[in-house]
Amino acid sequence: MPAPSPAPPPALTEPGRAGPARGPSPGDGGGDDPRRCFARLLAADGAALAPMAGYTDAPFRRLARAYGATWAVSEMVSARALALGDATGLAISAPHPGERGLVLQLFAADPGEAAAAAGRLFVAFAPAALDLNMGCPVRKVVQRGCGVELMRDPGRAAAIVAAIGAAVPLPVTAKTRLGLDRVAAREVVSAVVEAGAAAIAVHGRTATQKYAGEADWDAIAEIAAAVDVPVIGSGDVADATAYARARARGLGVMVARGALGRPWVFRELLGGAAPSPQEVVAVSWRHARDHVAWYGGERALPRLRGQLAAYAERLGVARGAFVRVATLEDLAAAWRAAAGIDPVAPDVAALDPLVDTLPRCPRPPGRRRRRPRA
């Protein structure tokens, strides 16, 4: 349980209580060469929010950025589905009003489909950059020749990066793993860099490891040493010590699971205070209200239960009531019962890192299909 000391106001990079956004974002440009924007970002302190299917939506990205995430990556969407006119990927990828530095991620097997999908995303949202998923090991994705399957075929991975780069005036990045069943990413990483990738994110595990074992940052650093673009490491960074260790290697850092139910982790990585129990409650309340507003009603709350339970765990209280939340009032009652904290009490509401509530997410016309989970 974090120390119950009052926390200082969070460092804001999105409009919030402390005023307008600060600091550069991808998309702010890199002078003459937009590919340089990641080099500039990595020169500054801070970590990015890694893509997580089912989690890194607009409400969560906004909170992460409010606490200092340097940029945020949306969850992967299918290039084929987008190329065929499906609306699901557009709905999932939608930025919230005023969102800067949004990197949208595609999974793709075909350069033409990737180019068409990139064009749709660019026209709809003008994101800061597009990222190619080369690390998802989920069967449904791999069977379609996407995700980590691209690591078997550096030529195709490179062709997809080149096709996206030719289709839209945006930096293109790629996110990969260390290899399939052993460390062997060098060839594919060099190929996509040669094809124009502006930065590479590397999850420090192989595909067969999925999420087991420790991320291998030595292997990430070896990959980084072999290319001349910024490399952002991913895996097991959840505190200031791990963050500092990664930065000392000259690498950028992405945080995924360590941010679930804990968007203030980006403040902590930079030496900021752990939140008070009241702040944890205020943040979870903000998250739930934005989730309800963005998805158009309380019926969407069950999808947030995992994160609500994670907030409870951060405070060391039982998660039982949080995994049953069906209404905002359920959540308020759960906090009152579990921690004796009322989210709507003025002293708690004052710790909300954001001011305005999100609008309803855009609902692009067209068919929607079920999406695979990473």
Ligand X SMILES: Cc1cc2nc3c(=O)[nH]c(=O)nc-3n(C[C@H](O)[C@H](O)[C@H](O)COP(=O)(O)O)c2cc1C
Residues annotated as part of the active site: 136
Answer yes or no whether residue 52 interacts with ligand X by CB under 6 A: yes
Nearer to ligand X, 178 or 341 (CB): 178
Residues 74/114, Cβ–Cβ less than 8 Å? no
Which of 25, 78, 93, 105 forms a contact with ligand X (CB under 6 A)? 105
CA of residue 352 relative to chain centroid, distance: 21
Nearer to ligand X, 138 or 300 (CB): 138
Answer yes or no whether residue 50 interacts with ligand X by CB under 6 A: yes
Nearer to ligand X, 48 or 167 (CB): 48
Answer yes or no whether residue 53 interacts with ligand X by CB under 6 A: yes
Answer yes or no whether residue 78 interacts with ligand X by CB under 6 A: no
For the bound state, the minimum distance from the C-beta of residue 216 to ligand X, rounded and expressed in Å, comes to: 12
For the bound state, the minimum distance from the C-beta of residue 374 to ligand X, rounded and expressed in Å, comes to: 3
For the bound state, the minimum distance from the C-beta of residue 125 to ligand X, rounded and expressed in Å, comes to: 17
- Contact region for ligand X (CB under 6 A) — 7-15, 85-93, 234-242, 360-368? 234-242
Residues 334/322, Cβ–Cβ less than 8 Å? yes
Answer yes or no whether residue 104 interacts with ligand X by CB under 6 A: no
Number of residues that bind ligand X (CB under 6 A): 23
Answer yes or no whether residue 75 interacts with ligand X by CB under 6 A: yes
Which of 234, 276, 278, 284 forms a contact with ligand X (CB under 6 A)? 234
**d(Cα 334, Cα 318) in Å, to the nearest integer?**
10
Closest CA to 269 of 45, 15, 3: 45
Nearer to ligand X, 100 or 205 (CB): 205
| The three-state (H, E, C) secondary structure of 143-178, written as one string | CCCCHHHHHHCHHHHHHHHHHHHHHCCCCEEEEEEE
Answer yes or no whether residue 179 interacts with ligand X by CB under 6 A: no
For the bound state, the minimum distance from the C-beta of residue 185 to ligand X, rounded and expressed in Å, comes to: 13
Nearer to ligand X, 251 or 338 (CB): 251
Tokens at residue 289, please? 């209200």
Nearer to ligand X, 258 or 275 (CB): 258
Residues 29/37, Cβ–Cβ less than 8 Å? yes
**d(Cα 132, Cα 176) in Å, to the nearest integer?**
9
CA distances to 30, 91, 251, 363 from 266, rounded to whole Å, are 24, 26, 16, 30
Answer yes or no whether residue 195 interacts with ligand X by CB under 6 A: no
**d(Cα 87, Cα 252) in Å, to the nearest integer?**
33
Q: Where are the alpha helices (DSSP H) in 315-351?
A: 328-339, 346-349
**d(Cα 131, Cα 252) in Å, to the nearest integer?**
16
Which of 257, 305, 336, 368 forms a contact with ligand X (CB under 6 A)? 257
Which residues touch 66 (CB under 8 Å, ≥6 apart)?
A: 10, 12, 13, 14, 16, 263, 353, 354
Answer yes or no whether residue 207 interacts with ligand X by CB under 6 A: no
Answer yes or no whether residue 135 interacts with ligand X by CB under 6 A: yes
Answer yes or no whether residue 146 interacts with ligand X by CB under 6 A: no
Measured between its terminal Cα atoms, the distance across the chain in Å is 30
Q: 């679930």: which residue's tokens?
A: 260
Closest CA to 114 of 83, 136, 68: 83
What is the per-residue binding string for ligand X in 281-320, x denoting contact by CB under 6 A? Answer: ----------------------------------------
**d(Cα 218, Cα 356) in Å, to the nearest integer?**
43
Answer yes or no whether residue 111 interacts with ligand X by CB under 6 A: no
For the bound state, the minimum distance from the C-beta of residue 30 to ligand X, rounded and expressed in Å, comes to: 23
Answer yes or no whether residue 23 interacts with ligand X by CB under 6 A: no
Binding site for ligand X (CB under 6 A): 50-55, 75-76, 105, 133, 135-136, 175, 203, 234-237, 255-258, 374
